Structure 1
């Protein structure tokens, strides 16, 4: 699992921090797309969605940290997206027939915004 904090990222060059974030989102999106494309359920689906939940748990914790240097409005927006992602991830795990498309789309948009 990719574990980092914004304070650690800020110590590095901003480009390095964004690359770490993109790599984490790339991994999450790859896992979700693979599960969706192959129609996988069970442990594969749980692992893919769990990775997304872990990623957003880390991001939300960092976004809520007082030392986070992002503008407050951006932090609030990202926390809201993270909360939606966590809610959708839970719904996907409770309903195996539910598509992963929304999770893929939102996480792809966030990843692309890091460019």
Structure 2
């Protein structure tokens, strides 16, 4: 029978959580890229914006949680980024912008920082 220390289990849990977050951000990036490539407000745009919005709203909820162990300043910065992404999604939804690439670029930077 294997016995693991609490620290080993927690480290695995953090690694698993980061991997899931990377996968979620990968999906958002690919949906946004598909919407960008259609070059008009389409079914792809609706799906990409809805998914991306859900992702970042979930991230904000997690970042606001007192149990979140990230540094306060990092949490605040990530919440600011999330607010910008949500505003950009709203502008695209209202057909006042087509800045998919900006959202893709920022999301890619965040995803790459999860390593």
Q: TM-score range by the shorter chain?
A: 0.7 to 0.9
Root-mean-square deviation (CA, aligned residues, Å) is 1.7
The count of corresponding residues between Structure 1 and Structure 2 is: 106
CA offset digits 1:65-115 (Å, max 9, x no partner): 111111101100000000111111101111166231111111111111111
Runs (4+) of structure 1 exceeding 6 A deviation are none
| TM-score w.r.t. length of structure 1 | 0.84
SS at match of 2:44: helix
CA distance in 1, matches of 2:18, 2:40: 30
Corresponding residue number in structure 2 for 1:45: 45
Q: Which has the larger radius of gyration?
A: 2
Corresponding residue number in structure 1 for 2:64: 64
Corresponding residue number in structure 1 for 2:34: 34
CA distance in 2, matches of 1:72, 1:24: 23
CA offset digits 1:27-61 (Å, max 9, x no partner): 00000011112325222201101111000010000
Corresponding residue number in structure 1 for 2:104: 104
SS at match of 1:13: helix
Distance change in 2, residues 1:79/1:33 (3 Å): same
Structure 2 residue 20 is matched with structure 1 residue 25:
no
Contact persistence 1:41–1:96 (CA under 8 A): no
| TM-score w.r.t. length of structure 2 | 0.84
Structure 2, gaps ≥5 residues long: 1-9
Structure 1, gaps ≥5 residues long: 1-9
